[in-house]
Amino acid sequence: MAKYTKTHEWVTVEGELAIVGITKYAVSQLGEVVFVELPEEGQEVEKGESICNVESTKSASEVFAPVSGIVRSVNEELEDSPELVSEDPENKGWLFKIEMNRQEEVEDLLEEKAYNEITGD
Amino acid sequence: MNLKRTPLYQEHIDLGARMVEFAGWTMPIQYSTLKEEHLSVRNNAGMFDVSHMGEIFIEGKDAEKFVDYLVTNDVTGLVPYQICYTPMCNYEGGVVDDILVYKFYHNKILLVVNASNTEKDYEWILKNSGGFNVEIRNESDSYTQIALQGPKAQEILNEISGVDLHNIKYYHFEKGPVDGIECIVSRTGYTGEDGFELYLKNGSSVYLWRKLLEVGKFMGIKPAGLGCRDTLRFEAALCLYGNELSDNISPLEAGLKWTMKSDKNFIGKSSLLKQNEEGLPYRLRGIELLEKGIARHGSEVLDENGENIGWISTGYLSPTLQKSIALGFLKPGYRKIGTEIVVAVRNKKIKAKIIKTPFYKGSVKR
């Protein structure tokens, strides 16, 4: 089950890895994604830190690390096909995977219902 | 503060537009997608509600003389029913606004001004009218403005126009009925494409808006939002007030020297002549990014040693050209086509070079 942040990231947990992307709602606000600036693999990130940028024609939008840890992999397919983020934001359009060093941070993330209340869905 | 709504507000909602706040107005940013609307204007036609723009009428014996003094371009030389684009400067040579001057006759002139500047302009015009026999009326709230833009704009408008469009040359206008509704019809626009701007009194706006969408349907007309209005004007390298022009940027820096007529007197003239002689601290240039990334308004421009040499005023991944390009202001020494520079986009340094503008030439008939 995916969890969510107030800043419109989704997170699914696979063991020690947190897979992160932006939500359908974020994409609907942003418009067609034309460029993704991914974080570096091996980069250490703090929860809440801006580590990545998703850009539509109109604007750039920051993506914040939902949990702390080390970036283990990034979705390299997005370098040539950034449109995957608009087309399938919660699956093929994933952005990066973080190896968590404080797994308990997952507990602070929002359940789907609570997130939908924020976006008014 | 309550946002202002144009008379076409409900039409936008019914068409499923995403609405955003712009200069105190709630305006459609897109109906479908920015790219689809952008390409529709480039290839066929798009229709914009630009009723947020301001309309200020100057009438009276000294109308022509007064407007000629307010703006840098030549107003006395315009023939009746001709238009000019011009900056209106402050005494320091900065730009109060960039506007269109519609000359009916020497005693009646319409100024079309930016939504964000309408109040400021009106105050400025009033303040500088001492000694001139003129009446100044801000009629912005009673006019709807619809921009019909694209290579098929004329064919579409022709379906319902009682005005002979063939006779309207670039930057000229006529008054007359469009499907029975009295309009000012000008061959002007902000997209780089051929097209028209229609001004009509509020009341018939909804009827005309629907009618144009209906008759234009078979030629691929689409309602188009402010999102693509900005990418279209950007590809054509047309200035946007607030980005390429401001109270602190001179028309010379923005590449608008062609709009400055030094054989007449106007506000800001001595400052501009001085700047022209001493050299421009910054000059607007086209920039292409050579590595992945998109430059944005406010990004810093650096030389190869990391020294600041200017800033980006507008940047996009161009929907038509599919290149990452930008407009930016540069210090002397970095303005030649081909010069390599660096754009700082957040924490990344991206290689870029100076290229010529406009980035794209559309169907506009000069």
pLDDT of amino acid A105: 94
Residue A32 and residue B34: Cβ atoms within 8 Å?
yes
B330: closest CA of chain A, how far (Å): 23
Tell me which residues of chain B have a C-beta less than 8 Å from any C-beta of chain A.
29-30, 33-35, 227, 231, 292-294, 296, 316-317, 319, 324, 345-346, 348
Q: Is residue A46 classed as helix, strand or coil in its secondary structure?
A: coil
- pLDDT, residue A109, reads 95
Residue whose pair of structure tokens reads 């507990």 in the numeric block: A107
Instruction: Give the list of residues 6+ apart from residue B241 with CB closer than 8 angstroms, or none.
Output: B95, B97, B98, B114, B116, B117
Dist. CA A51–CA A47, nearest whole Å: 10
Q: Which chain A positions have a beta carbon within 8 Å of B346's beta carbon?
A: 37, 53
Task: Give the residue on B whose Cα is nearest the Cα of A80.
Answer: B292
Q: Would you give the end-to-end CA distance of chain B in angstroms?
A: 42
- Which of A53, A57, A59 lies nearest to residue B319, judging by beta carbons? A57
> Distance (Å) from the C-alpha of residue B32 to the closest C-alpha of chain A?
10
Contacts of A35 in chain B (CB under 8 A): 292-294, 317, 324
| A56 touches B at CB < 8 Å | yes
Q: Which residues, other chains included, contact A85 with Cβ-Cβ below 8 Å and sequence gap of 6+?
A: A21, A22, A27, A33, A36, A54, A78, A93, A95
Q: Which residue of B has its CA nearest to A28?
A: B18
User: For chain B, which residues score pLDDT lower than 50?
Assistant: none
pLDDT of residue B151: 98
Report the C-alpha gap between B365 and B171 in whole angstroms.
10
Angle between helices B226-235 and B34-43 (to 10 degrees): 50
Q: Which residues of B touch A58 (CB under 8 A)?
A: 29, 34, 227
pLDDT for the residue B347: 79
Which tokens in the block code for residue B200? Answer: 């009509």
Query: Chain B residue with minimal CA distance to A37?
Result: B293
Name B288's Cβ contacts closer than 8 Å, sequence gap at least 6: B323, B324, B325, B326, B352, B353, B355
Burial level of B206, CB count in 10 A (0-12/13-18/19+)? middle
What is the pTM assigned to this prediction?
0.91
- Residues A59, B49: Cα–Cα separation, whole Å: 22
Per-residue pLDDT at B166: 96
Coil, strand or helix at A104: helix
Spatial distance between the Cα atoms of A88 and A22, rounded to a whole number of angstroms: 10
Per-residue H/E/C for chain B: CCCECCCCHHHHHHCCCEEEEECCEEEEEECCCHHHHHHHHHHCEEEEECCCCEEEEEECCCHHHHHHHHECCCCCCCCCCEEEEEEEECCCCCEEEEEEEEEEECCEEEEEECHHHHHHHHHHHHHCCCCCCCEEEECHHHEEEEEEECCCHHHHHHCCECCCHHHCCCCEEEEEEECCEEEEEECCCCCCCCEEEEEEECCCHHHHHHHHHHHHHHHCEEECCHHHHHHHHHHCCCCCECCCEECCECCCCCCCHHHCCCCCCCCCHHHHHHHHHHCCCCEEEEEEECCCCCCCCCCEEECCCCCEEEEEEEEEECCCCCCEEEEEEECCCCCCCCCEEEEEECCEEEEEEEECCCCCCCCCCC
Of B33, B294, B324, the CB nearest to A32: B33
Q: So what's the pLDDT on residue B1?
A: 66
Q: What is the ipTM of this complex?
A: 0.70
Most A CBs within 10 Å: which of B18, B240, B294, as the mutation test of the A interface? Answer: B294
Chain B CB contacts of A55 below 8 Å: 294, 317
Q: What is the pLDDT of residue A121?
A: 67
Q: Residue B168 CB: number of other CB atoms within 10 A? A: 19
Does the domain at A3-103 match CATH 3.40.50.2300? Answer given as no
Q: How far apart are the C-alpha atoms of B351 and B291, rounded to whole Å?
A: 6
- Record: contact A57-B227, CB cut-off 8 A: yes
Residue A31 touches partner B, C-beta closer than 8 Å: yes
The residue among B147, B266, B261 whose CA lies nearest residue B212 is B147
pLDDT 10s digit of each residue in chain A, 121 long?
A: 899 999 999 999 999 999 999 999 999 888 889 999 999 999 999 999 999 999 998 888 999 999 999 999 999 999 989 999 999 999 999 999 999 999 999 999 999 999 999 888 6
Domains recognised in chain B with CATH numbers: 9-51+141-235 (3.30.1360.120), 282-355 (2.40.30.110)
Q: pLDDT value at position B346? A: 80
